[in-house]
């Protein structure tokens, strides 16, 4: 009875919190868009936690390892965990609405963009500055240098996305003009551009093509789904176009895998000669097209599903701390792995990711990673809001962040 009473009390409080969130949600809020954003966001830590394995050296230092290097059958999981297509789709859609509201208020595009970039930059500056301090503390505590470099690499690894996202966000006014003129077809030249570059770097003339040419895919590769999102926000992407994206993307995806032998993994595999993600290949765009088509087609069903308060409340919470989850999820995994390294190999955590048993054990670790991330988020979510700090403090944070970046890149 003593255990049942507090449990009932907690359930009642949770129920009230869920109902309060639902009651305070404006009627015009697009729950489907928030649900898609939350889904894409959760795929980031889940994917990194599942492919972010470690090995231990003789001195107890942690080194990065990936199950994708040895477990080829695991590669198709990346098709479902790599949801950046949906993330950029929702980003484009949301940016259109935000830019439209800013324009109606008489706000300049430059000011609107500055606000968007500040929201992206504050959490990144915070996590890198805090880690710059942590490096010193952990080093003084005797943590091996190999572990420090591994941790720094993991923290910096996902932050490239913020730079890319900032870049495509800056192009929003031009994307809007293209969408109004061409609708979803405005994304077609981006797809064609990536196809041409892929043909040059993988086709019969590959030996004569310089390696830097692949970088030409960076902007059109990630702008593709964002442009579709802008068209969706401009109400130029309907169900017919969505079916075309879903079927066309699926067929192209299958053809690239089966006929043109693209790597099956959507993320980089250590030691592999080719990668689909850095920079994005045509396979990434094919998957993004299919994902975007499915998202548009399922929008109404998702919105209906999220009318349930118990499902809507976690979506709200995730969206409120989106950048916190993105910036700090690797830290949560490291909080479990770094102390464990002193005890030797721990199954699923610091043992080589080279067997199906490792995958099962890693799945068992995910709840702990999520719990640690929740605790970190309770302390760091404040960094998403304006800091209100003086110039000296901001300059110090920027200096620490720069030093950490150099350390992570092996230059410090």
Residue-averaged pLDDT of the chain:
92
**Confidence label for 34 from pLDDT (cuts 50, 70 and 90):** very high
**Confidence label for 388 from pLDDT (cuts 50, 70 and 90):** low
The answer to whether residue 376 scores a pLDDT higher than 50 is yes
- Mean pLDDT value of segment 71-93: 93
Of the chain, the percentage scoring pLDDT greater than 90 comes to 75
Burial 245-271 (b: 16+ CB within 10 A, else e): bbeebbebbeebbeeeebbbbbbbbee
Q: What is the DSSP letter of 280?
A: B
DSSP track, 298-339: HHHHHHHHTTSHHHHHHHHHHHHTHHHHHHHHHHHHHHHHHH
- Mean pLDDT value of segment 155-168: 91
Give just the sign of the alpha carbon dihedral 329, 332, 333, 338.
positive
The answer to whether residue 406 scores a pLDDT higher than 50 is yes
Q: What is the pLDDT of residues 209-264, one digit of tens each?
A: 998 999 999 999 999 999 999 999 999 999 999 999 999 999 999 999 999 999 99
Distances (CA, A) of 342 to 55, 153, 312: 13, 20, 41
**Confidence label for 412 from pLDDT (cuts 50, 70 and 90):** low
Chain-centroid distance, C-alpha 221: 15
Whole-prediction pTM: 0.93
DSSP track, 196-239: HHHHHHHSTTGGGS-GGGGGGGHHHHHHHHHHHHHHHHTT---H
Q: Which two tokens stand for residue 392?
A: 């000296």
- Mean pLDDT value of segment 361-372: 97
- CA 270, 273, 278, 281: dihedral to nearest 10 degrees? -130
The answer to whether residue 1 scores a pLDDT higher than 70 is no
Do residues 214 and 202 make contact, with C-beta atoms less than 8 angstroms apart?
no
Residue partners of 406: CB distance under 8 A and separation at least 6: 412
- Mean pLDDT value of segment 44-54: 94
Of the chain, the percentage scoring pLDDT greater than 70 comes to 97
Residue partners of 82: CB distance under 8 A and separation at least 6: 43, 47, 266, 267, 277, 284, 287
């Amino acid at each position: 009875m003593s255990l049942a009473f507090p449990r009932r009390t907690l359930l009642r409080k949770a129920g009230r919190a869920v109902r309060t969130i639902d009651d305070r949600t404006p009627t015009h809020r697009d729950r489907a868009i928030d649900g898609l954003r939350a889904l894409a966001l959760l795929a980031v830590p889940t994917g990194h936690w599942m492919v972010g394995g470690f090995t231990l050296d003789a001195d107890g230092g942690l080194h990065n390892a990936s199950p994708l290097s040895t477990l080829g059958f695991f590669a198709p999981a990346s098709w479902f965990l790599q949801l950046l297509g949906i993330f950029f789709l929702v980003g484009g859609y949301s940016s259109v609405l935000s830019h439209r509201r800013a324009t109606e208020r008489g706000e300049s595009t430059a000011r609107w963009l500055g606000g968007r970039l500040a929201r992206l930059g504050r959490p990144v500056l915070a996590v890198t500055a805090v880690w710059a301090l942590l490096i010193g503390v952990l080093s003084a505590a005797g943590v091996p240098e190999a572990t420090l470099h591994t941790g720094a690499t993991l923290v910096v690894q996902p932050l490239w996305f913020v730079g890319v996202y900032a870049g495509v966000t800056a192009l929003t006014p031009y994307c809007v003009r293209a969408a109004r003129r061409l609708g979803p077809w405005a994304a077609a030249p981006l797809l064609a551009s990536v196809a041409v570059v892929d043909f040059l770097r993988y086709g019969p003339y590959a030996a004569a093509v310089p390696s830097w040419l692949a970088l030409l895919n960076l902007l059109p590769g990630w702008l593709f789904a964002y442009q579709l999102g802008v068209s969706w926000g401009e109400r130029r992407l309907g169900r017919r176009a969505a079916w075309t994206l879903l079927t066309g993307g699926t067929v192209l995806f299958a053809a690239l895998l089966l006929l043109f032998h693209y790597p099956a993994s959507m993320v980089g595999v250590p030691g592999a000669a080719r990668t689909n993600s850095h920079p994005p290949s045509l396979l990434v765009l094919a998957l993004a097209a299919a994902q975007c088509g499915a998202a548009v087609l399922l929008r109404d069903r998702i919105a209906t599903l999220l009318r349930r308060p118990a499902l809507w409340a976690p979506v709200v919470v995730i969206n409120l701390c989106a950048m916190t989850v993105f910036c700090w999820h690797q830290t949560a995994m490291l909080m479990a792995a770094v102390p464990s390294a002193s005890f030797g190999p721990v199954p699923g955590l610091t043992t080589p990711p080279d067997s199906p048993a490792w995958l099962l054990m890693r799945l068992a670790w995910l709840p702990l990673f999520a719990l640690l991330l929740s605790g970190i988020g309770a302390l760091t979510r404040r960094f998403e809001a304006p800091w209100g700090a003086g110039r000296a403090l901001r300059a110090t944070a920027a200096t620490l962040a720069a030093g950490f970046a150099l350390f992570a890149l092996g230059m410090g």
